[in-house]
Structure 1
């Protein structure tokens, strides 16, 4: 279906004058997005290809240069890949937004003119690539290192995919880019801190550990500001109130707001874990590293079959030390008894 100079199709113009949301579920709408669907599938596969080459030909040599143990390497490759993505698409999203003629404040700008708001080729391409990334994330989650918050991450990815996909389909792309942008900020600091953390564990370099802890603090601050203040009190508030006043027949009003509130609940859960890390650091004088396994499986690899290469765990070391101490105490007590006899 042909688009005008602003990237608006006949269907959006038709919906403007006819408040019938079934237009968005029609066969005509589906046919108009066939190229977008093909582009989405292609980009999802490209993400896996780029990820493979970046991890194996850029990140893996770095891990080998630090003699990183196998139990850390897989997580280092994952976190390094996500660091690259979030930095890149935070910058790309910032550029796309800078090319738009509207501003997010006042927030009524998000909704005014819907559904015929301009949707440029650059904006549309960026949006579809972001959507394909979350398809890639959802699939990759089943192949990555299993983490304790697997169910929460799966819920997060599904909710995000639903929001981004629906916002593209129904042309709520203005609030969509704002949500994507604020979520990319904190993740830059999170994944870069986690990647550096695995290097720090190997080299035991104090400077790297300080940088790592500094990135974690920046992650905590940015997470709180963007996801617990700006997200609920600006974007969710706008979606719950202003969107309704702009169009009484607002499509997917309840499902999209339920998805937004689901993300908010997940953010509150994760910030509880962040606050606990900070508490342990400040009041129990422990490193941030002591609790990072809360989001990961146990750090050490335990041998499950003969011939499996694995480093000895801290638990095994402590157990051996305890056994040696008990044997020593037993020998000393027996010697003392013989002496008394």
Structure 2
């Protein structure tokens, strides 16, 4: 049974005190509900943080084991091809070039090429991760690169050198052994040549897989300051490769890739020299890079754009064709709508058209790519001015990466501080509720007549200390 003091009985003669008692009791009754609600929000917030942390852990687990995952996938694919004959029609497009014509010894374009691109996309991902972490990174450490960040950058640039040192000579070989070697007009003759050699087909599909893999790389790694420029460059390049391959402009596509790829050999060499501490060699290679960049991207590439603008309208017929090389039909009238644009991707012998719209799209791609390279040329010339002023040549992105490393650490510290601040705000709000309850009890005690030996309406034995009360508030209190 509850116990009442004389003070409580006296308070019934004062309505204002009775109202205060009622409000104090209501505040006390609602306090546990408020605290339970806040506890629920805190539990939910911490559960969400744990869920996000688990997602990040799974992503990091995948990133740390890319080479192993790829190795197992490729091994499974080859074992399936060797041991399960019924599965070979499904596994073969991943491993070998499709749409072969035995009568001509050449290959057509078709949908099965997608599987070949996927295979090399996965293969490049595993090779890159395995070489960087298992070979190139330790090699940089052995050669005296002490910084973990520089070891990673050295491995990344060395991987680029390995890739382009294979595909750039291959592209030059294709160009040198072709009729369009040093002859721009031959880039456009005999269109549409619906079949290409196996070497050209492999070259294009592997390059397409590499550029798609580059989009994957810039999204899984820490974003750099020029992320959007790089992404735009990769997307435009992928579109250019796909368009030139599907519409049988592989000759000009081959020449453009040669023009681009040589730069990606010289520049990584300069960066590797920088990471190894050979600053003079880095400056020399950087000077060579500037010469190669300006000559290929703003002289030879503009020559290709000029040939597109002047030679294509004069040589390439603006009409449609259908069928393979053995039964090519045309010229045919252009159909209505836009579905015919995707026909070369769906059917190697389907309808293929060239008109003013396709010319404008192809030309716009090249101009867009040139525009991106102009912006990069401006950044490169800034570094040239830096070198001429007596400083060492450095990639502008390297400085940005160092700033971003610091920024990333600061961001992590800020996130941790925000988490702590959120918990602190919760505890502070909880304390505000408790403090409000205590103040209500104090106001009520001050409003009641002072009598020795009197007690409050709720008897709280052992809770005279305010700090202890704040620590333990929220527990149910029994009325004596």
Structure 1 residues 300, 174: CA separation in 2 closer, same or farther (over 3 Å shift)? same
Q: Please give the residue correspondences for 1:28-47 in structure 2 after superposition, counting only pairs within 5 Å.
A: 33-47=110-124
1:238 aligns with 2:307: yes
CA distance in 2, matches of 1:289, 1:78: 16
* Structure 2 match to 1:163: 240
Q: Please give the secondary structure, in 1, of the residue aligned with 2:150.
A: helix
Q: Distance in 1 between matches of 2:395 and 2:183?
A: 43
1:254 lines up with 2:360 in the alignment: yes
Output aligned runs, 1:86-97, within 5 Å. 86-97=164-175
TM-score by length of 1: 0.74
| Aligned equivalent of 1:288, options 368, 378, 393 | 393
Instruction: Report the CA distance between 1:292 and its aligned residue.
Output: 5.2
Hey, what does 1:105 align to over in structure 2? 182
Structure 2 unaligned blocks of 5 or more? 1-98, 320-353, 414-480
Q: Distance in 1 between matches of 2:242 and 2:279?
A: 39
Q: Does 1:5 align with 2:101?
A: no
Partner of 2:295: helix, strand, or coil? helix
Q: How far apart are 1:67 and its partner, in Å?
A: 4.6
Please tell me whether residue 229 in structure 1 is matched to residue 295 in structure 2: no
CA contact (8 A) 2:180 2:251 kept: no
1:243 to partner: Cα distance: 1.2
Q: C-alpha deviations, 1:249-290, integer Å up to 9, x for none? A: 4352112211110110111111111111111221x2222138
Report the Cα offset of residue 6 of structure 1: 5.8
CA distance in 2, matches of 1:290, 1:117: 43
Task: Choose 1 or 2 for highest CA Rg.
Answer: 2
* Residue 244 (structure 1) shift: 1.8
Q: How far off its partner does 1:70 sit? A: 2.0
User: Does the 8 A contact of 2:309 with 2:363 survive in 1?
Assistant: yes
User: Of the candidates 273, 285, 289, which is equivalent to residue 215 of structure 1?
Assistant: 285
Aligned counterpart for 1:70 among listed residues 148, 153, 163: 148
Aligned residues: 274
- What SS does structure 1 have at the residue aligned with 2:221? coil
CA contact (8 A) 2:150 2:275 kept: yes
TM-score under structure 2 length normalisation: 0.54
1:140-155 alignment runs, 5 A limit: 140-155=217-232
Where do 5+ consecutive residues of structure 1 fail to align?
10-31, 201-207, 307-341
* Cα offset, 1:146, TM superposition: 2.0
Could you report, residue by residue, the CA deviation over 1:45-82 in whole angstroms, capped at 9, with x for unpaired residues? 00001111111121111232225212322222221211
